Structure 1
Amino acid sequence: MLVDSHCHLDRLDLSAHQGSLDAALEAARQRGIGHFLCIGVSADNAAAVKALAERYADVDCSVGVHPLDLEPGAEPALDWLLKELEHPGVVAIGETGLDYHYEPEAAELQLRSFRLHLDAAKTCGKPVIVHTRAARADTLALLREAALPQAGVLHCFTEDWDMAKAALDMGFYISLSGIVTFRNADALREVARRVPADRLLVETDSPYLAPMPHRGKPNLPQYVREVAEFLAELRGVGFDELAEQTTANFKRLFPLARVAG
């Protein structure tokens, strides 16, 4: 069994499944994907991801505000985050983090929000899902400053081995998406070879970043199988072994998730 450890089910392009999320999830289940973590990105979609976790037994969710969804003067409040995190379907906080690639001018706002999410993570004890792009030094500095007692994950990892090693040394996991299959991703593939087996997750980040051979099309949770198959070959292990290991890793990182088995 595989787990799609990071997907945006409320944002999927469902045209390939006649507009039906039920059909999209069933297509994934038929390919061996047994669980889905649906990610919160804003206050506006918190209700939607919680509703999906209530609707489907094999879907859990997170709540948080993505660094590119922040509005100046309207950053999330700690009380709001902690209240949202009380929902039984919410197994993690985020995604949160820093993205200086698209909005370097919003660095201070992003830093405040990231610290707030890390404070919430310390209070509630749930793992944090970190988005980081072009913000290596500040991301690592804030994670060291927070000194979280529980593990978290750097999702859709695209940075170098030095950053991966620094995060691993702090107890974090590394999650890889379809980007690892792209032709120009040689440096990322080197990271993928080196991540310890017990710290590796797989994800789609759907509807974004469809893996080869689906690149350029809307991504779907069923395509996490392509990511896992590619990684198994890259790492020189059997597909079943990689699926079993990454599922065990997911269950360890997200102990509140309702993963079967």
Structure 2
Amino acid sequence: MSGKREAPDLPEPLAPIIDAHTHLDACGATDAASTAVVLDRAASVGVGQVVTVADDQAAAQWAVRAAHWDQRVYAAVALHPTRANALDEAAKIELERLAADSRVVAVGETGLDYYWPGKLEGCAEVETQIEGFRWHIDLAKRLDKPLMIHNREADHDLLTVLLDEGAPKTVIFHCFSSDATMALSCVAEGYILSFSGTVSFKNARELHEAAKLVPREQILVETDAPYLTPHPFRGAPNEPYCLPYTVRALAALREEDPEELAKITTANARRVYGI
């Protein structure tokens, strides 16, 4: 595509890191061989395992296949909140089947997205999103698997639904992008906050303050690749191998050693996902 930025250079390796949320299929992986290429590139800088995440039914099926192709891959399955209008009975049956797979470590990404309704054609309306979110919460509890949340401009309602339904034992806020007040509310409930490349963006001042407040045992790191490429590569394609850039940016904000933060987030990911 004309004008598209080149892929970032390989970063300096860090201690083994786990990418807590990525989309390998959207990074161009299509089969076992192309998946291995992406994973090998990540492994060369210390990113040894990834959780590849679904946002629709086809992506959920693909994620489970990928997790069986390569032992470095784990899967999370759900319908993205903007696609909650596709959660009919057939979809529920298929998602339940997929979510029960031994290689699936979370139900997600689900949650609420108040940015896209009215802007994106076919986007699920708010009430439909809430109904779908409630169903995914119940599924996570029935399977005793973590709930992986997508939250965009819906802080209050998201916490309200979790309180109303009763949250699963483990709740992960993927790509946490809210402010310090929301971070403290989540921390108080024992939720896990996962930080992506957005934490490296110079203008994300409220997020910077939030990132400083999260206890070590409640923090993860992710790429959300191919989206949200960290500074100074915004606009370039993202991949799991870019995760060390985010870890270093987060460590600088928290005034921590990057190697130590890599070890902490890896230990947390192993505990949270049971891997």
Fold-level similarity (TM above 0.5): yes
Question: Offset of 1:29 from its aligned partner?
Answer: 0.3
TM-score normalised to the size of structure 2?
Answer: 0.87
Specify the alignment match of 2:270 in structure 1. Answer: 251
Aligned to 2:212, what secondary structure does the other structure show? Answer: helix
Specify the alignment match of 1:25 in structure 2. Answer: 39
Determine which of 66, 80, 90 is the counterpart of 2:104: 90
Determine which of 153, 164, 169 is the counterpart of 2:172: 153
Question: Offset of 1:233 from its aligned partner?
Answer: 1.6
CA contact (8 A) 1:43 1:65 kept: yes
Specify the alignment match of 2:199 in structure 1. Answer: 180
Specify the alignment match of 1:221 in structure 2. Answer: 240
Question: Offset of 1:76 from its aligned partner?
Answer: 6.9
Question: Offset of 1:159 from its aligned partner?
Answer: 0.7
Query: Separation in 1 of the partners of 2:251 and 2:86?
Result: 43
Aligned to 2:151, what secondary structure does the other structure show? Answer: strand
Per-residue CA deviation, residues 61-88 of structure 1 (Å, 9 max, x unaligned), is 0110001223367477544332222211
Question: Offset of 1:20 from its aligned partner?
Answer: 3.7
CA contact (8 A) 1:13 1:218 kept: no
Determine which of 40, 44, 57 is the counterpart of 1:43: 57
Superposed, 1:71-110 pairs within 5 Å as: 71=85, 74=88, 77-103=91-117, 106-110=125-129
Q: Which 10-residue stretch deviates more, 145-154 or 233-242? A: 145-154
Specify the alignment match of 1:230 in structure 2. Answer: 249
| Alignment size in residue pairs | 252
CA contact (8 A) 1:81 1:120 kept: no
CA contact (8 A) 1:156 1:176 kept: yes
Specify the alignment match of 2:22 in structure 1. Answer: 7
Letter in structure 1 aligned against 2:235: G
Query: Separation in 2 of the partners of 1:46 and 1:20?
Result: 18
Query: Separation in 2 of the partners of 1:75 and 1:249?
Result: 35
Query: Separation in 1 of the partners of 2:141 and 2:102?
Result: 18
CA contact (8 A) 1:152 1:253 kept: no
Gapped runs of 5+ residues in structure 1? none
Superposed, 1:168-207 pairs within 5 Å as: 168-207=187-226
Query: Separation in 1 of the partners of 2:191 and 2:87?
Result: 31
Question: Offset of 1:154 from its aligned partner?
Answer: 0.5
Aligned to 1:70, what secondary structure does the other structure show? Answer: helix
Query: Separation in 1 of the partners of 2:136 and 2:57?
Result: 13
Percent identity, aligned pairs only, is: 37
Query: Separation in 2 of the partners of 1:72 and 1:12?
Result: 24
Q: Which 10-residue stretch deviates more, 231-240 or 121-130? A: 231-240
Letter in structure 1 aligned against 2:82: L
CA contact (8 A) 1:144 1:170 kept: no
Per-residue CA deviation, residues 122-161 of structure 1 (Å, 9 max, x unaligned), is 1111000000111111100011122234111001011111
Query: Separation in 2 of the partners of 1:249 and 1:146?
Result: 25
Aligned to 1:194, what secondary structure does the other structure show? Answer: coil
Q: What RMSD in Å do the two structures reach over aligned CA positions?
A: 1.8
Q: Given the alignment of the two structures, is residue 57 of structure 1 paired with residue 71 of structure 2, yes or no?
A: yes
Specify the alignment match of 2:150 in structure 1. Answer: 131
CA contact (8 A) 2:212 2:254 kept: yes
Question: Offset of 1:32 from its aligned partner?
Answer: 0.5
Gapped runs of 5+ residues in structure 2? 1-15, 119-123
Letter in structure 2 aligned against 1:32: G
Q: Given the alignment of the two structures, is residue 241 of structure 1 paired with residue 256 of structure 2, yes or no?
A: no
Determine which of 123, 130, 133 is the counterpart of 1:111: 130
CA contact (8 A) 2:183 2:213 kept: no
Letter in structure 2 aligned against 1:81: L
Query: Separation in 1 of the partners of 2:46 and 2:222?
Result: 14
